[in-house]
Structure 1
Amino acid sequence: MAVLEAEGLRKRFGGVEAVRGVSFAVEAGEMLALIGPNGAGKSTCFNMLNGQLRPDAGRVRLRGQDITGLAPRKVWRLGVGRTFQVTATFGSMTVLENVQMALLSHQGRLGRLWRPVSAMDRAPAEALLARLGIAAQAERPCGILAYGDLKRVELAIALANDPALLLMDEPTAGMAPQERVALMALTARIARERRIAVLFTEHDMDVVFAHADRILVLDRGAPIAEGAPAAVRADARVREVYLGSGATQGGH
């Protein structure tokens, strides 16, 4: 059984049909890239999967359970982690506190007010930061971190939920080329180790073709190609509407 199944998703905003009949599935441990030109419907798809938007038609299933239109907090509770185009952390709190908050939420122990937690509660957060290579930043406020480190903190927060599905909306946006490669290579290793299904959008084609197991291409809200990276790169329509006629692996 696929971890995520999207079936016939549609979403209209006024006279514009932003998503038109999108269907796909993601298996455990698989990295599926969702790509396409600006306005193709990628973020709208993400927001329907995550519960921020309710589809006008179609269904979303997580491990066989219908989650269509559930609120984001309920989707989180069912095992879906998410990172955003613009990083979402508590800037005045330390890196460790941000991850602890996510862990306590996952455990159902997060009260209405933040309060110090025990040394026992620190260990899982510290282990996660070490896995992501940012243990040295644990006591620093997120508001002063370099952008690459902040992206890793956001990934740690998403992984604190022990997700079955990880949604990553432009995970390397704003990062230097070497940081992009390192972050996605680490994500791929963790996804395969923990059997996490990963769906990500990305404009950097080097990242997409290096790390995606499969690629789904949207144009004007509708799927135009799906398959292995080599097949998608060679697809004439994809090259016409997105990659460009002279595109190589790194072409946009």
Structure 2
Amino acid sequence: MTAPPVLSVGNLAKAYGGVHALDGVSFDVHAGELLALIGPNGAGKSTCFNVVNGQIRPDAGTVRLEGRDITGLPPRAIARLGVGRTFQIAAVFGSLTVLANVETALLASRGASFGLWRPQDGQARGEALDLLAQTGLAALADRPATGLAYGDVKRLELAIAIAGSPRLLLMDEPTAGMGTHERLALIGLVRRLAAARSLAVLFTEHSMDVVFGHATRVIVLARGRVIADGSVEEIRADPQVRAVYLGRSAATGERGS
């Protein structure tokens, strides 16, 4: 028997004047799955992503998290229900150490204040160190975040996002600004964490080497509609997708438009 989806999006619609940014968009994301949401500029990716995250209220349709209707809830409420998020421009506390960044995220996920935390408590520190080990940052635990290389900042942001043990992780252009080696290493790490934690991942991405190399499923949007939903192989071979979006990037792994 197939497990119910972690995220279920049903018939989402959103219009701005006469422009339909979303027009009946539906899809599910299951535990352990990396679902890539791609499409040309103006396809509706950002609108769909922000509706799921609660930043935009849809005109119609539903967003369900493990069966619970979260449509229109604010981002903070959605985060408390088990949704983590990373951003195109990484957001970390530069004045804190790498370890303190993750400790702060752990405490926030429990409704605690960093100002009330005491080092001797130990629990948050131990959990934070474990998260840093999982994301390859253990050796940098005591370094200020402001001095990190960009790839390490992105890994720290990932550690912060999963600190609250979310069931769903939303990643907006997770490899933006990264070189080929760095972006493939980061998305490979995300895939391993998703499998180990049974974490559902929904991400937008322009780099086709990332999508085709690591996504377990791909959805393609065009003009607010889903035009394809399938495996990497199915998306590569879909003539409509090649015509409206992939072009030569399907064969070369270059960035789409």
Query: TM range, normalised to the smaller chain?
Result: over 0.9
Residue 73 (structure 1) aligned with residue 76 (structure 2): yes
Q: Displacement of 1:115 after TM fit?
A: 5.5
Match of 2:242 in 1: 239
Amino acid in structure 1 at the alignment position of 2:242: R
- Native 8 Å contact 1:209 1:249 kept in 2: no
Match of 1:44 in 2: 47
Match of 1:206 in 2: 209
* Change in 2 beyond 3 A, CA 1:10/1:120: same
Amino acid in structure 1 at the alignment position of 2:89: V
- Identity percentage of aligned residues: 60
Q: Displacement of 1:249 after TM fit?
A: 5.2
Counterpart Cα distance in 2 of 1:30 and 1:54: 25
Residue 82 (structure 1) aligned with residue 85 (structure 2): yes
The two structures have a TM-score, normalised by structure 1, of: 0.95
1:162-201 deviation digits (Å, cap 9, x = unpaired) = 0110111111111111111111111111101111111111
Match of 2:193 in 1: 190
Q: What do you get for the CA RMSD once the two structures are aligned?
A: 1.5
- Native 8 Å contact 1:10 1:17 kept in 2: yes
Residue 215 (structure 1) aligned with residue 218 (structure 2): yes
* Change in 2 beyond 3 A, CA 1:246/1:55: closer
- The counterpart of 1:141, out of the listed 128, 144, 153, is 144
1:59-86 deviation digits (Å, cap 9, x = unpaired) = 0000000000111111111110111111
- Native 8 Å contact 2:187 2:210 kept in 1: yes
Residue 2 (structure 1) aligned with residue 10 (structure 2): no
**Aligned residues between the structures:** 251
Q: Displacement of 1:216 after TM fit?
A: 0.2
- Native 8 Å contact 1:102 1:160 kept in 2: yes
- The counterpart of 2:19, out of the listed 3, 8, 16, is 16
- Native 8 Å contact 1:32 1:212 kept in 2: yes
Match of 1:98 in 2: 101
- Native 8 Å contact 2:208 2:250 kept in 1: no
The two structures have a TM-score, normalised by structure 2, of: 0.93
Match of 1:150 in 2: 153
Counterpart Cα distance in 2 of 1:179 and 1:83: 16
Does the residue aligned with 1:247 lie in a helix, a strand or coil?
helix
Deviates more, 1:9-18 or 1:218-227: 9-18
Q: What runs of 5+ residues in structure 1 fail to find an aligned partner?
A: none
Q: Displacement of 1:116 after TM fit?
A: 5.0
Residue 162 (structure 1) aligned with residue 165 (structure 2): yes
Q: What runs of 5+ residues in structure 2 fail to find an aligned partner?
A: none
Does the residue aligned with 1:125 lie in a helix, a strand or coil?
helix
- Native 8 Å contact 1:95 1:142 kept in 2: yes
Amino acid in structure 2 at the alignment position of 1:202: E
Counterpart Cα distance in 2 of 1:245 and 1:87: 30
Please list every run of at least 4 consecutive aligned residues from structure 1 whose deviation after the TM superposition is greater than 6 angstroms: none
